[in-house]
Amino acid sequence: MSDDIVNIEVDGEPVEARKGQMVMEVTDKIGAYIPRFCYHEKLSIAANCRMCLVEIEKAPKPMPACATPVGEGMKVFTRSAKAIAAQKATMEFLLINHPLDCPICDQGGECELQDLAMGYGRDVSRYNDRKRVVKDKDIGPLVSTDMTRCIHCTRCVRFGEEITGMPQLGTTERGEDMKIGTYVENSIDHELSANIIDLCPVGALNNKPYRYSARAWEMTQHATISPHDCVGSNLYAHVLRGTVKRVVPRDNESINETWISDRDRFSYQAIYSRERLQAPRVKESGEWRELDWDEALSKAADALNHANGERIGMLASPSVTVEEAHLLVQLAKHLGTNNIDHRITRRDFSDQDNDPTFPWLGVDIADLERQNAIFVVGSNLRREAPILAHRVRKSALAGAQVSFANSQEHDYFFKIANSLSGVGLVEMLAGVALAAVGKSVPDQIAGLLSDIEPSKAQNAIAESLKDADDALVLIGNVAGRHAAFSAVRVLSAVIADATGARIGYLSEGSNTAGAHLAGLLPHRGQGGKSRSGEALNASTMLDEKLDAVVLVNVEPDADIRSTEDAVAKLAKQAFVVALTPFVSEALLAAADLLLPIGTFAETSGTYINAAGTWQSFAGIANPVGESRPAWKVLRVIGNLVEAPEFDYVTSEDVRDEIAAAVGDVNPDNAYAGNRKIAKPNGADVSPDDIDTPLYSVDGMVRRAEALQLTAEACRVTTGDRS
């Protein structure tokens, strides 16, 4: 170990460093700041901005700190006259071509070049010649460009090559003529691509929807959590006078590192969509009219009070907060119904008793990149959870064998070990399972595995899982929505058992785990305790004739996949109350009473991500129109129907109650069922809509204008699903 340690001296202070570390990493650790533009912790070292020049004893010239490895006895001077002179000279060269349009530049006030120019720039320019001008490029609806401002740090280029694996930006020509561009006219299409906005140290790449609408210094920064996928990416929302102006990542090494998906970054636009429901509305003899909250709430309470308990149904989105889920469960308990569900995209409920307490990722998010083999079953991984796809890519680049079994093949920008596609998911898995178990076929699936011969790829997948120390079978959302999900899961469990791999689930929405733990399920209560009695699930509920149906943040046409024709079925129900942030044709057709609720930005709450991490957030924006946080609406409805102990004052009260009720849950995905699974035959063919497109996952994303203008979203509207 001691061989790995070298002793160096920084500005006279003795410091221990690891062999192979760069000077910049050591100085950053001890807090001796060296100015830099091209260096970024998460990217490779380019050393092309030359801003980090420092003096090193015995070196004839100043050396770039980001690209100089430490050596025994090295003496580094970061603030010596020679170092400062070199840094000032670099700054002068950078400013030769950089325009002085800071007052109109969106980066003004948070610009690395502007900040460093304060410390290292001259007050008067010595340069009198013409400045370079570069034509702006149109690289899509998310990122605006002002290429004249570019200082050629190439962070965006390295991001494309190293992080997304989809190198869309590059440099052409050299020296004075060097330009960053897309080679041919093209948009930047990766689902993480907008991170180049944060990476760009100057105002060359900026946030297009946010363009010119606010200044960095006038906004307040509020921490929040992404509501769009099971990762729970940490975000900062920048708010001006109660209005969310933009969203940026909040560093969290154990979840999203320093990246967020474009979906998380731009979905805030939907908060101010024209389709927001501004005030409660009621349908009276076929006509909609607006009404005030008091009247609306008493109408809702009346409908629930007059309904027969067993004839009440409640459907919630998997992205409701833990608090909303808990209140809904308590309300259902008081009304005497177990007909509550959040699994509105699931089709196969036959084996639901063997579901885990909550669908767990199987490993911590950060450990995903340390797996040796990953077998992704039924998932369009990059679209379902872009941040997790990035982690999986990292593990693949580190040498892991990553294989896929899905109805369609997708691009992943790393070497895929084996890819199965084209036929039914069950059939694909059956081959892998047979290859994994060899001759000792478990009874449970004997019927499934008859007359199957594993292909070369299927054998290879089983082999890769067996050989790996850390192997993971990751069941995705496509599998979760599959009509033969129970067979898919049993086969995955058999594969995992036989190969010593773990099982992980990617779950729907942002809070499937929280909804499970709160007991927003027909067959299970808080913390996974089973419920007694018959109950209707998301698939059977709407086929019944119910007295009252409550929808929370559900759009029947776009969100419900568990049953066909949900809109028509809802329209036939006696009374449908929809708590929704948005109004749509489908909701107007299906519901009888619309109550406007806030989006994630306007309510406080808690999401539990797929790894089981509880993350609470506060409301950060002023509510739009008459909308109210959903937990408050549910609480008042609870009071009106005289539910006991419904006197919550804050959402923290609700959270603490459910947290205490759930206690410590040990996540466990092990499959304990022994139901015999037969061949699913017809159910194995997945329908077209089983894979939700990237920018259609929830109401907010569907209404974010910028996202809907992307090439990815346009492919969906034109029917090209490749």
With CA atoms as reference, report the closest residue to 407 among 481, 343, 347: 481
> Measured from the CB atom, is 214 or 460 closer to other proteins?
214
Residues 6+ apart with CB under 8 A from 206: 106, 107, 143, 144, 145, 146, 197, 200
Using CB under 8 A as the binding rule, whether residue 218 contacts other proteins is answered as yes
> Measured from the CB atom, is 108 or 528 closer to other proteins?
108
> Measured from the CB atom, is 131 or 721 closer to other proteins?
131
Taking the complex as a whole, the smallest distance from the CB of residue 309 to other proteins amounts, in Å, to: 51
Using CB under 8 A as the binding rule, whether residue 88 contacts other proteins is answered as no
Structure tokens at 403: 């294989």
Tell how far CA 291 is from the center of its chain: 36
Choices 212-220, 263-271, 527-535, 701-709 (CB under 8 A): range interacting with other proteins: 212-220
> Measured from the CB atom, is 217 or 451 closer to other proteins?
217
Using CB under 8 A as the binding rule, whether residue 213 contacts other proteins is answered as yes
Using CB under 8 A as the binding rule, whether residue 214 contacts other proteins is answered as yes
Taking the complex as a whole, the smallest distance from the CB of residue 146 to other proteins amounts, in Å, to: 11
What is the Cα–Cα distance from 137 to 147, expressed in whole angstroms? Answer: 7
Choices 101-109, 406-414, 609-617, 651-659 (CB under 8 A): range interacting with other proteins: 101-109
**Locate tokens 């990766």: which residue?**
190
What is the Cα–Cα distance from 126 to 338, expressed in whole angstroms? Answer: 77
> Measured from the CB atom, is 143 or 426 closer to other proteins?
143
Using CB under 8 A as the binding rule, whether residue 709 contacts other proteins is answered as no
Residues 337-376 vs other proteins: string with x where CB under 8 A? ----------------------------------------
Contact 510, 319 (CB under 8 A): yes
Q: Which helix (H) or strand (E) holds 431?
A: helix 425-437
Using CB under 8 A as the binding rule, whether residue 103 contacts other proteins is answered as yes
Gyration radius (Cα) of the chain, Å: 28
Taking the complex as a whole, the smallest distance from the CB of residue 125 to other proteins amounts, in Å, to: 16
Taking the complex as a whole, the smallest distance from the CB of residue 202 to other proteins amounts, in Å, to: 17
> Measured from the CB atom, is 204 or 654 closer to other proteins?
204
Beta-bridge mates of residue 606: 616
> Measured from the CB atom, is 240 or 571 closer to other proteins?
240
What is the Cα–Cα distance from 503 to 363, expressed in whole angstroms? Answer: 9
Using CB under 8 A as the binding rule, whether residue 108 contacts other proteins is answered as yes
Size of the site for other proteins (CB under 8 A): 10
CA-based diameter of the chain, in Å?
A: 89
Using CB under 8 A as the binding rule, whether residue 33 contacts other proteins is answered as no
Taking the complex as a whole, the smallest distance from the CB of residue 212 to other proteins amounts, in Å, to: 4
Contact 196, 143 (CB under 8 A): yes
Taking the complex as a whole, the smallest distance from the CB of residue 713 to other proteins amounts, in Å, to: 22
Q: Which helix (H) or strand (E) holds 206?
A: strand 205-207
Residue environment code for 366-402, b if the CB has 16+ CB neighbours within 10 A, otherwise e: ebbbebbbbbbbbbbbbbbbbbbbbbbbbbbeeebbb
Judged by CB under 8 A, the residue of 30, 59, 85, 104 near other proteins is 104
What is the Cα–Cα distance from 528 to 144, expressed in whole angstroms? Answer: 48
Beta-bridge mates of residue 239: 220, 244
Using CB under 8 A as the binding rule, whether residue 41 contacts other proteins is answered as no
Binding residues among 622-651 for other proteins as defined by CB under 8 A: none
Choices 48-56, 211-219, 309-317, 611-619 (CB under 8 A): range interacting with other proteins: 211-219
Helix (H, G, I), strand (E, B) or coil at 363: coil
Helices and strands counted in the chain (H then E): 23, 26
Judged by CB under 8 A, the residue of 18, 122, 131, 211 near other proteins is 211
> Measured from the CB atom, is 203 or 362 closer to other proteins?
203
Judged by CB under 8 A, the residue of 42, 79, 82, 215 near other proteins is 215
Name the site residues for other proteins (rule: CB under 8 A).
103-104, 108, 211-215, 217-218
